[in-house]
Amino acid sequence: MKKLSLLFLCLFATVLLQAQTATAPSTGDGSSGNPYRIATLDNLYWIAASDAVVPSPNRAARWDAYYIQTANIYASGTSSWFSGAGWPMIGYLNDYPGDYLAFSGSYNGQGHTIDGLYINLPSTIFVGPFGFTWAATIKNLGLTNVSITGYDQVGGLIGSTQEYDIVDSCYVTGSVTANYVQNGCGGLIGFTNDATVSNCYSSCTVVGIDGSGSGEGTGGLIGMNYGNVYRCYSAGSVSGHNKTGGLIGASYSGSSNFIVENCYSTCLVSSSGNYVGGLIGIMGNGAVNNCYFAGSVSGISNVGGLIGTNGTDGSSGTNGTDGTSGTSGSSGTDGTSVPSVPFVPE
């Protein structure tokens, strides 16, 4: 009987240790002048939790507030949350314009990290620690040893941005996988729309699985990009189907003429499809300035050491160079040499 009681207590304690608990920050009111202070995983979950768990302030208010992180957070325990689904994400889009709620606040990591965050949502779109953002600012934050799996628009930091987002001085390490990539899978961000990403890097294993024969947009940093990218780099490996790149899978601009500038990639890039680049898989109506690639790249066709192909009205990079030109491909945009000392975003 004593042995059974002891076993029960051990099992009960294990359940308690694995259970998610939402704890309100001890200081701050969520304003720009007095942001909430996030110091623990319980504090972090307080932001993400449903209204049933944290009724006041409600989730809409929590996702429109200001936060600063005051300590490193260890999140490996999230692998046991919600029957193995893991971290519940901050911001979601199930159906636009009906069922969505974006994170539109500000999160300043202050140079701290979140380690071991786990998400396993293989049938869900817009997947990342921040699933869906709109006019948000996320800066000075490191996500280390992430394990993130989603369906499409999957990122190590953000699944998808909508408009006017600012992502600055952030980085991600670990693994990011999209099980049916159509609109982006990236080490940092899956899909950007009118965002500015600067001083960021990723060092991840990024996998964009093609489920339809037309899967596109897998990148070491950003899967599919409609925005400006400055002073960023990517390392690790990237594998995808169409439109795969070491830094960005596909980068488009419309009439906005977005710029990718002062960036580089050292990724191992492999593709089972077309439009594959060491830096960018396909570029349309934008500019690539002072960028280079120093890894290896392979694909079926339209493979380039820097850019796989320029799309409609696309402009090739200026002062762009690459270390290893494309293999098994054609019509790629290659450079000539690698700067002797890689630059690092400040």
Reported as a single tens digit per residue, the pLDDT across 67-105 is 999 999 999 999 999 999 999 999 999 876 678 999 999
Helix (H, G, I), strand (E, B) or coil at 39: coil
Query: Among residues of the chain, what percentage have pLDDT more than 70?
Result: 82
Residue from 332, 341, 190 nearest 275 by CA: 332
Q: Give the structural domain span for 251.
A: 2-322
Judged against a pLDDT cut of 50, whether residue 337 lies above it is answered with no
- pLDDT confidence of residue 190: 98
Q: Cα separation of 310 and 175, whole Å?
A: 29
Contact present, 178 and 209 (Cβ < 8 Å): yes
- pLDDT confidence of residue 210: 86
User: What CATH number corresponds to the domain at position 135?
Assistant: 2.160.20.110
Mean pLDDT computed over every residue of the chain:
87
Total domains in the fold of the chain: 1
- Work out the average pLDDT over 19-41: 96
- Cis omega before residue 97 (within 30°)? yes
Q: Which amino acid makes up residue 138? A: I
- pLDDT confidence of residue 19: 72
pLDDT bucket at 253, cuts 50 / 70 / 90: confident
- pLDDT confidence of residue 311: 62
- pLDDT confidence of residue 284: 86
Q: Cα separation of 47 and 104, whole Å?
A: 12
Contact present, 105 and 66 (Cβ < 8 Å): yes
* Domain assignment of residue 328, yes or no: no
Bridge partners, 284 (sequence order) = 252
pLDDT bucket at 216, cuts 50 / 70 / 90: confident
Judged against a pLDDT cut of 90, whether residue 214 lies above it is answered with no
Judged against a pLDDT cut of 90, whether residue 345 lies above it is answered with no
Structure tokens given for 40: 């623990």
Residue-wise pLDDT for 96-111, tens only, equals: 667 899 999 999 999 9
Judged against a pLDDT cut of 60, whether residue 309 lies above it is answered with yes
Backbone φ, ψ for residue 13 (5° rounding): -65, -40
Residue-wise pLDDT for 110-166, tens only, equals: 999 999 999 999 999 999 999 999 999 999 999 999 999 999 999 999 999 998 999
- pLDDT confidence of residue 340: 33
Judged against a pLDDT cut of 80, whether residue 13 lies above it is answered with no
* Domain assignment of residue 166, yes or no: yes
* Domain assignment of residue 341, yes or no: no
Helix (H, G, I), strand (E, B) or coil at 9: helix
Report which listed range, 133-147, 251-265, 295-309, 318-332, is most confident.
133-147
* Domain assignment of residue 339, yes or no: no
Contact present, 212 and 244 (Cβ < 8 Å): no
Q: How far is CA 79 from CA 29, 76, 234, 308, 319, in A?
A: 30, 6, 26, 37, 44
